[in-house]
Amino acid sequence: MELSKFGEKFSGQSGIVELMDDLGSALNENPDMLFMGGGNPGRIPEVEQVFKARLEKVLADPKQLHSLMGVYQSPQGEKAFREQIAGLLKQQFGWDLSAANIAVSNGSQSAFFVLYNMFAGEMPDGSHKSIHLPLAPEYIGYRDIGLSENLFTATRPEIELLDNNLFKYHVDFSKLNITGQTAALCVSRPTNPTGNVLTDGEIEHLDAIATEHNIPFILDGAYGLPFPSIIFNDAKAHWNTNTILVLSLSKLGLPGVRTGIIVAREDIIQAYTKVNTIVSLACGNLGPALAGELVSSGEILSLSRQQIAPFYRQRAEQTVDWFRQALGDLPYRIHRPEGAIFLWLWFEGLPITSQALYERLKQRGLLVVPGHNFFPGINDDWAHKQECIRVSYAQDPEVVQAGVKIIAEEVARAYSE
């Protein structure tokens, strides 16, 4: 079979393909596999009950049911839902926007595919532009999303060593290099994989830099503000006309409905919508049907703050304690958990690669994600890339505790060799 360049690129191996393939096939190989690698949210009964009640209400109304299953919505997204999102953001934060500033996508991954390739890659004049990540490690799903090669550049972070085997990444503004080939800046907040929450000052500084260079500032809020608000410290929501804020319903507990939300200037939304028409034709209806009333009433915010964020904060603190007990005197550090649903473990001087550690853990019946996949745009041989793994603490506590024990055993074996 002969494939085009597109076919070769997107049918090849990559970190996100390996991750999703493992999630889909591992149970067939080992029914007792422990999953600490994927991004599936935890099951929160109180939240599930809210969505169940909302779905039952939709199913009981023939008009709503027809709208859910039998009608194409606009490729920009259902207007009523966009109005609800705009109303919530305007009321909560005073942002000057309307439904025209909102677009819906079939998951935030597809939104980033369109946005990144809209701004970066091969330009009409023959030049090449890239998306700059001011801090890497960053989300694994960005890495291979470009239609052209070298879509990303990145800046190594400053590393602050903290007490109790913790550390924290900061944007190294002294090394941040914005050129005429930089199409946009992008950060996730909280950051996937590390749980890092960039400070308000860092966000404002990055926004000012982007504005100065007349390029967009893209903010991936899949785990952040205003929902699902999986943030454990004080942080302010951020948006302005130079910011593209991308939200998601996945970490509320709805990954299967594949609903992303883009908040941006009207001309950006219009361009995105035209591309989305070609790529997706229309947006899915289930996410807006389930979440619309929660948005208009503001319940989506209280659900996030009172149920979702405390659930993950407790899980994070418990998992850190388990790791401290299990890892003991081994040379480890954990990125300070400030949000999201992961812990980022750094084993300084690890004698094997992160991929080798991943393979050993997989043989033991545990799935994590090797850290080297999370450094798009950093193409040198920085040893730190091979010393980290990402683990999820969203699964049942007994699964997480068992996984912690296996990780500690395999890391100890690696150092002893």
For the segment 200-248, what is each residue's pLDDT rounded down to a tens digit? 999 999 999 999 999 999 999 999 999 999 999 999 999 999 999 999 9
* pLDDT at residue number 20: 66
pLDDT at 264: 98
Q: What is the pLDDT of residue 98?
A: 97
DSSP-derived 3-state class of residue 405: helix
Q: Which DSSP string corresponds to 130-141?
A: EEEESSSS--GG
CATH topology of domain 71-298: Aspartate Aminotransferase; domain 2 (3.40.640)
Comparing C-alpha atoms, which of 150, 122, 115, 113 is closest to residue 378?
A: 150
pLDDT tens per residue, range 367-390: 999 999 999 999 888 999 999 999
With vertex at residue 112, the alpha carbon angle to CA 234 and CA 340, rounded to the nearest 5 degrees, is: 30
Model confidence over 136-157: pLDDT tens digits?
999 988 888 888 889 999 999 9
Query: In 10 A of CB 139, how many CB atoms?
Result: 25
What's the whole-number mean pLDDT along residues 96-108? 95
State how far Cα 91 lies from the chain centre. 26
Query: What's the confidence (pLDDT) of residue 23?
Result: 61
Query: Which overall architecture, per CATH, does domain 5-46+303-416 show?
Result: Alpha-Beta Complex (3.90)
Asked if residue 401 has pLDDT above 90, the reply is yes
| Angle separating helix axes 397-416 and 309-327, nearest 10 degrees | 30
Q: CA 159 → CA 58, 117, 134, 369, distances in Å?
A: 49, 31, 14, 21
What is the residue-averaged pLDDT of the chain?
Answer: 93
CB-CB contact of 84 with 295 (8 Å): yes
User: What contacts 146, CB < 8 A, 6 or more positions away?
Assistant: 116, 117, 120, 121, 152
pLDDT in the model for residue 16: 67
DSSP at 308:
I
Stated as kind and residue range, the H or E segment containing 359 is: helix 354-363
Edge to edge, the sheet with strand 332-335 lists 158-161, 166-170, 332-335, 342-347, 388-392, 369-370
What tens digit of pLDDT does each residue of 262-295 get? 999 999 999 999 999 988 888 888 889 999 999 9
130 — phi, psi (to 5°)?
A: -135, 160
The structural domains of the chain, with segments of one domain joined by +, span 5-46+303-416, 71-298
Read off φ and ψ for residue 321, nearest 5 degrees: -60, -45
152-173 mean pLDDT = 97
Residue 27 has pLDDT above 60, yes or no: no
Residue 370 identity: P
Beta strand ranges found along 240-347 (DSSP E)? 243-248, 260-263, 332-335, 342-347
CB 86 within 8 A of CB 101: yes
Residues 219, 165: contact at Cβ < 8 Å? no
Distance CA 147, CA 122 (A): 9
Contact 262, 105 (CB under 8 A): yes
Selection from 287, 336, 286, 296 nearest residue 316 by Cα:
336
